[in-house]
Structure 1
Amino acid sequence: MARFNVRARKAQPTSPVTTTGRVLRTHQGGRGHERDARSELFLLALANFVSQQTFYEDGAARDDRFAKLVRELAVSDPDWTASLLGWLRGEGNLRTAAIVGAAEYVHARLAAGATGGPSNRQVVDSVLRRPDEPGELLGYWTATYGRNIPKPVKRGVADAVRRLYHAKSLLKYDTASKGYRFGDILNLVHAAPDPAKPWQGDLFQYALDRRHHPDTAVVPGSLPLLAAHRDLMELRPAKRRKVVTGAGGAQRLAEAGMTWEALAGWLQGPMDKAAWEAVIPSMGAMALVRNLRNFDEAGVCDEVAAQVAAKISDPAEVARSRQFPFRYLAAYQHAPSLRWAYPLERALGHSLANVPALPGRTLVLVDRSGSMFYSRLSERSELNRADAAAVFGTALALRAADADLVEFGSTSKEITFRKGESVLKILERFGDLGGTDTTEAVRRHYRGHDRVLLVTDEQYAFSRHGGPTDQVPAHVPVYTWNLAGYRAGHGPSGTANRHTFGGLSDAAFRMVPLLEAADDTKWPWAA
């Protein structure tokens, strides 16, 4: 009699975040599941904004755990670790974790005398994507390991400098507040100009001159943006306001690389309506989203506001800005004018373009317990994990063919919504539900669904009924989206219809349809 080679038998796909089988305890005392080192680092890296306090771990403890895992895997599995770091800074869009990870990777490899695998130079270069990041990496290295900087670090930084340094980046990032100015970095790493950029030699020399001889530094003729900026800076304060209010003011500011941050200081006065309207045309989408409140307070006219709305909601601009979806929620919460609601709604939708339209019946459970509210996403953000979880859970429910959307904490309740309804309006129905009883939420709301998705920090309290994933029949997939990166998970993962993802972008959801098609999934950079 056939036992295995039968038509009805369905393959059990695997996913990369796996548990070891060892039992731990969650911070709340629930039965936890240990993840292997790669899985633990992956989830922690996606959730750790470095030095940020969380409800259950202080920033230093999380940073130490992150660095220890990187150092361990840099030696034992350099190819995987280097790929993770490059992906974090690229598609993952997490700069600080990637930079810290690269420094720890190199230090561990050098200390162990390790050979083979991606070069230390390549790893350093791979995580530096913005012109201020060479200085960030050098600042972290010297603060952590002293001023003796090894050659692979210098060479990796030099490679990045050739890619990243241009006239506008010099104006934006080479400021007196930085510990490492552009000239300091060039002195340290001895970066040679890129032969394909004939102007870069003059730029490097000017960066050195303005760092060490600012009173006599001369702007070279090969850098017209810097020359235009110099001409603006030499204007007397009384004439500067006329540039802003005069014909062609916006174009002149753009041609001189004047940022909105620098404009207020240059004007030596308030950023009023005229100032904002002059600089808005040259602002990027991210800067526009962050300043919507300022535009309203200054009284920016409807015509310019329409230009802002069009830019921040343009799909190409959303993709280019690489903002996380929760940024649009934060802007919506803090912008006083209703004229931004629709463009922010559209932008949020574009940023969630990868959320799949799941068939059948789906149960989406969103963690709104106290620990999710306590932890802000970063020190510069007022948004917390609870709101980030609500964004993604709502988007999943709206995209699914038939979904029940539930918030849970010490209690739970269903969130009502209609197809096509505004994500931002649905989010207003979520509340703060205190403690954590994930198991009871699953028991209460699972009613024969085809799949269950949990958006949570996984720190459920002890339950006599077992863990949250135990409440769902073994043949039904349960997907956990971890937003915190704590060590212990609330259920097994990697096989047998139990899978864990992580992070604050929608990229992880690409794996759900693959798993349901009985395809094994790989790490995001290997997919």
Structure 2
Amino acid sequence: MARFNTRTATAQPVSPVTTTGRTLPTYEGGRGRERDARSELFLLAVSNFVTQHTFYESGTDRDDRFARLVRDLAVSDPEWTAGLLGWLRGEGSMRTASLVGAAEYVQARLAAGATGGPSNRQVVDSVLQRPDEPGELLAYWTSVYGRAVPKPVKRGVADAVRRLYHAKSLLKYDTAAKGYRFGDILNLVHAAPDPDKPWQGELFRYALDRRHHPDTAVPPASLPVLTAHRELMALPVAERRAVVTAPGGAERLAAAGITWEALAGWLQGPMDKAAWEAVIPSMGAMALVRNLRNFDEAGVCDEVAAQVAAKISDPQQVARSRQFPFRYLAAHRHAPSLRWSWPLEQALGHSLANVPALPGRTLVLVDRSGSMFWTQSRDRSELTRADAAAIFGTALALRAADADLVQFGTTSANVEFRKGESVLKILERFGDLGGTDTTDAVRRHYKKHDRVLIVTDEQYAPNRHGDPTAQIPAHVPVYTWNLEGYRAGHGPSGSGNRHVFAGLSDSAFRMVSLIERGGDGRWPWLA
């Protein structure tokens, strides 16, 4: 009789975040599981706002752990590490962590004399996706490793400069507040103009002139936006507000590259109704989202507000902005006007469009313990990991065919919802539940579900029954969505129907469906 080669035999699915088999305590004293270096770095990278303190870990300790992991893996596994950094800045939408990671990657490989694999130059170029980022990376390098910048860094920055520098980026990002101006960067890296951009040579010369001779620098005629900008800047202050209110004022401001950030300074006065209405047509979707409260306070008219609402709720604009879902929750909390509620609800829904629609019965457990109520970042918003967990858990429950949504801490309770109900409305039913008894929550609420998803920081408290994932039969998949990136996990992962993911990207969402179709979950940049 065949024991293994039967018609019902199936391959055991695996996923990339893997535990080593060794144990270590969670911060709450539970019996945690150690992850391998690649898994630890991935989970930390997708949740790490650099210099950010977390509930259990200081910003310095967290940054040191991140840099150490990058340096080690840059030497031992350069292909994987380079792939992570490029994905992190792109689909992962983690800007600062990717810049820091690229610098540490180069430093480690130069120090080790490592050869082969993706070049240092390529890695630097891959993480620079916005015109101000070459200066950010150089500022990090010189602040940590001194003013001697190695050639691979210079060449990677030069490659990015050719891609990113244009007239409007000069006006927006080349400001006196920056330590590295565009001219400083060009002097340092000696970037040659792109031969396919005949105007770029004159742009580079003008960037150098305005850095070193600002009073006499003259914009080239081949770049009319710079000329238009210079003309507006030359206007007497008393005449500037008339430009805003004149017919065609919005078009003139846009043609001169006057951004909303620069307009108040140019006017040297308040951003009133006329000023906002003139600059709104040229603002990007996320700039609009950040300023909804300002629009209300200025009294922006309903017609312009309707244009704002249409743009911020447009699915293509949401996809292009690559913002995390909790940005829309922050906007909803800070701009409570009813005219923004539905557009923000739509935008939030679009940002979660790739959450998997799971068949069968699903148990979704959302961590609402004290450690989850630490703010995401000191300078970004007042939102917490608990907010992010609630958004994602609610979206999973709404999309699933049949789901039970549970919040847990010291205690646990069902969160009631109806199909098609507003995510923002459901979020109002979540609370602060104290400690982290994940094991008890699983034992209380698991009722022969087809799968269990736990959205958490994984720092569970000791429980006599063992770790949370051990409470579920081995044949039932358990998916943990890690939102903090601490070293210890709350259970094994990588095989045996136990999987850990992180991040809120499209590729992360796809992993559950991929695994349940019998495929192997891969790192997002390899999927």
Q: What TM-score, normalized by structure 1, do the two folds share?
A: 0.99
Structure 1 position 179, deviation (Å):
0.6
The C-alpha deviation readout for 1:28-82, integer Å capped at 9, x for no partner, is 0000000000000000000111100000000000000000000000000000000
Per the alignment, residue 503 of structure 2 pairs with: 503
User: Take 2:329 and 2:151, find their aligned partners in 1: how far apart are those partners?
Assistant: 44
Which amino acid in the other structure matches residue 216 of structure 1?
A: T
Aligned to 1:228: 228
- The equivalent residue for 1:31 is 31
Distance in 2 separating the partners of 1:306 and 1:145? 50
Aligned to 1:307: 307
**What corresponds to 1:446 in structure 2?**
446
Alpha-carbon shift at residue 379 of structure 1 (Å): 2.7
What one-letter code is carried by the residue in structure 2 that aligns with 1:111?
A
Q: Is the 8 A contact 2:23 2:33 kept in 1?
A: yes
Tell me how many residue pairs correspond in the alignment.
Answer: 527
Work out whether 1:75 is the aligned partner of 2:75. yes
Q: 1:376 aligns to what SS in structure 2?
A: strand
Q: Structure 1: which amino acid aligns with 2:325?
A: P
Q: Does the CA contact (< 8 Å) of 2:273 and 2:298 recur in 1?
A: yes
Return the alpha-carbon distance in structure 2 between the equivalents of residues 475 and 311 of structure 1.
46
8 Å CA contact 1:325–1:505 kept in 2: the answer is no
Aligned to 2:369: 369
Matched, 1:157 2:157: yes
Match of 1:488 in 2: 488
3-state DSSP of counterpart to 2:185: helix
Structure 2 equivalent of residue 457 of structure 1? 457
Give distance in 2, aligned partners of 1:506 and 1:402.
22
Which residue identity is paired with 1:512?
V
- 1:506: how far off? 4.9
3-state SS of 1:20 partner: strand
The SS at the match of 2:381 is: coil
Q: Aligned equivalents of 1:88 and 1:517: distance in 2?
A: 26
CA contact (8 A) 1:277 1:300 kept: yes
Aligned to 1:397: 397
The answer to whether the 8 A contact 1:132-1:173 is kept is: yes
| Secondary structure of 1:148's aligned partner | coil
* Matched residue, 2:88: 88
SS where residue 46 of structure 2 aligns? helix
Q: CA RMSD in A?
A: 0.7
In 1, the alpha carbon distance for the partners of 2:96 and 2:268 equals 33
Q: Confirm or deny: 8 A CA contact 1:244 1:278 kept in the other structure.
A: yes
CA distance in 2, matches of 1:265, 1:484: 38
Measure how far apart 1:139 and its partner are: 0.2
**Taking structure 1 as reference, are residues 506 and 461 closer, same or farther at Cα in structure 2, changes over 3 Å only?**
farther
- The residue identity in structure 2 corresponding to 1:384 is T
Matching residue of 1:110: 110
Match of 1:422 in 2: 422
Question: Match for 1:211: what amino acid?
Answer: R
Partner of 1:411: 411
- What one-letter code is carried by the residue in structure 2 that aligns with 1:515? I
**What's the CA shift for 1:507?**
3.3
Structure 2 unpaired stretches of 5+: none
2 CA distance for matches of 1:378 and 1:282? 29
Does the Cα contact within 8 Å between 1:388 and 1:504 map onto a contact in 2? no
Tell me which residue corresponds to 2:200: 200
What corresponds to 1:252 in structure 2?
Answer: 252
The one-letter amino acid paired with 1:137 is L
Contact 1:121 1:155 (C-alpha < 8 Å) held by counterparts: yes
Once residues 516 and 293 of structure 1 are traced to their aligned partners in structure 2, the CA distance between those partners, rounded to angstroms, is 43
**Structure 2: how far apart are the matches of 1:320 and 1:378?**
25
Corresponding residue number in structure 2 for 1:144: 144
Q: Is the 8 A contact 2:365 2:405 kept in 1?
A: yes
Once the 2 structures are TM-superposed, how far is the Cα of residue 368 of structure 1 from its aligned partner? 0.6
- CA distance in structure 1 between the partners assigned to 2:261 and 2:158 by the alignment: 28
* Rounded Cα–Cα distance in structure 2 between residues aligned with 1:468 and 1:417: 25
User: Shift of the alpha carbon at 1:508?
Assistant: 1.2
Alpha-carbon distance in 2 for matches of 1:217, 1:338:
48
Aligned counterparts of 2:434 and 2:503: Cα–Cα separation in 1:
23
Task: State the 1:377 CA deviation.
Answer: 4.1
2:214 is aligned to: 214
Secondary structure of the corresponding residue to residue 382 of structure 1:
strand
Q: CA deviation at 1:9?
A: 2.5
Q: Are 1:355 and 2:355 an aligned pair? A: yes
Matched residue of 1:4: which SS? coil
Within 2, Cα distance between the matches of 1:62 and 1:105?
A: 17
| Equivalent AA in structure 2 for residue 148 of structure 1 | A
State the distance in 2 between where 1:445 and 1:320 align.
Answer: 39
Could you list the per-position Cα deviations for residues 172-219 of structure 1 after superposition, in whole angstroms to 9, with x for gaps in the alignment? 100111110000000000000001001100100000000001111011
Match in the other structure for 1:282: 282
- Counterpart for residue 380 of structure 2: 380
State whether residues 325 and 351 of structure 2, in contact with CA within 8 Å, keep that contact through their aligned partners in structure 1: yes
User: Within 2, Cα distance between the matches of 1:10 and 1:332?
Assistant: 46
Structure 1: gaps of 5 or more residues: none
Structure 1 residue runs of 4 or more that deviate by more than 3 Å after TM superposition: 504-507
Aligned AA for 2:126?
A: S
